[in-house]
Amino acid sequence: MKSNPSPRIAVLFATAQGSTRDIAEFIADDLVAHGARAELHDIEHAPDLSGIDTVVIGSAIHDMDLLPEASAYLRHNLNTLAHKDVWLFSVGLGPALRGPIGRWIGRRIPRKVADIVTAVRPRNYTAFAGQYERAGVSWRARTMYRVLGGARYGDLRDWQAVRAWSSRIARSLGLPHASTSIVHP
């Protein structure tokens, strides 16, 4: 009886300040712990996808849109991605917002991102919170952040949510439970 080889997964990311890279690295490590063959790449150095079964793509959100290199990659590779198992995630402030207005805004997918999600048709799209440092942020932006329910600055990433999403990918691929527990950065 021949056993099925582990699925080959490319985890691609576009980052501005490192939060998205850290999350992508965590996802790749977690998928490897589940028995997958996962490789991590900056989206600008993405591999040829011909031997890849599943593609996980993440991008930071700036100005209500994915980073330009992520948008360009997704649009340029629509035909190839249509034949792959694709999972998308973004990293921004929305998921960290609290209060009634903040939670409502945080659940909304920005129009430009929604257009890309519609075009790519991933198996799942999710948004994670990133890091938001107070230094260098204008008074106006800090005020808006507080009004929308931003409670604190710093590392706002929810590693349990990232692990749950990564485990969801692993389950969908029929991978076994992780043999080791990945520690977040």
| pLDDT band at residue 28 using 50, 70 and 90 as cut-offs | very high
What does the pLDDT read at residue 95? 79
Rounded CA gap, 35 and 32, in Å?
Answer: 5
Query: Residue range 138-165: average pLDDT?
Result: 78
Range in 75-84, 110-119, 169-178 with the lowest mean pLDDT: 169-178
What are the tens digits of pLDDT across the range 95-115? 777 777 777 777 788 899 999
Query: Residue range 30-39: average pLDDT?
Result: 94
Our measurement of the distance from residue 19's CA atom to the centroid of its chain's CA atoms, rounded to an integer in Å, reads 10
What does the pLDDT read at residue 101? 72
What are the tens digits of pLDDT across the range 173-183? 998 877 666 66
Percent of the chain whose predicted confidence (pLDDT) is above 70: 87
Beta-bridge partner residues of 112: none
In the chain, what are the domains? 8-172 (3.40.50.360)
Mean pLDDT of all residues in the chain? 87
| pLDDT band at residue 128 using 50, 70 and 90 as cut-offs | very high
Query: Which of the two residues, 4 and 96, has the higher pLDDT score?
Result: 96
What does the pLDDT read at residue 2? 43
What does the pLDDT read at residue 160? 94
Residue 157 reports pLDDT greater than 80: yes
Residue 30 reports pLDDT greater than 70: yes
- pTM of the entire predicted model: 0.88
| pLDDT band at residue 145 using 50, 70 and 90 as cut-offs | low
What does the pLDDT read at residue 184? 59
DSSP track, the chain? -PPPPPPEEEEEEE-SSSHHHHHHHHHHHHHHHTT-EEEEEEGGGPPP-TT-SEEEEEEEEETTEE-HHHHHHHHHTHHHHTTSEEEEEEEESGGG--HHHHHHHHHSPPHHHHHHHHHH--SEEEEEE-EE-STT--HHHHHHHHHTT----EE---HHHHHHHHHHHHHHTTPPPPSSPPPP-
Number of alpha carbons in the 13 Å side-chain half-sphere of residue 138:
3
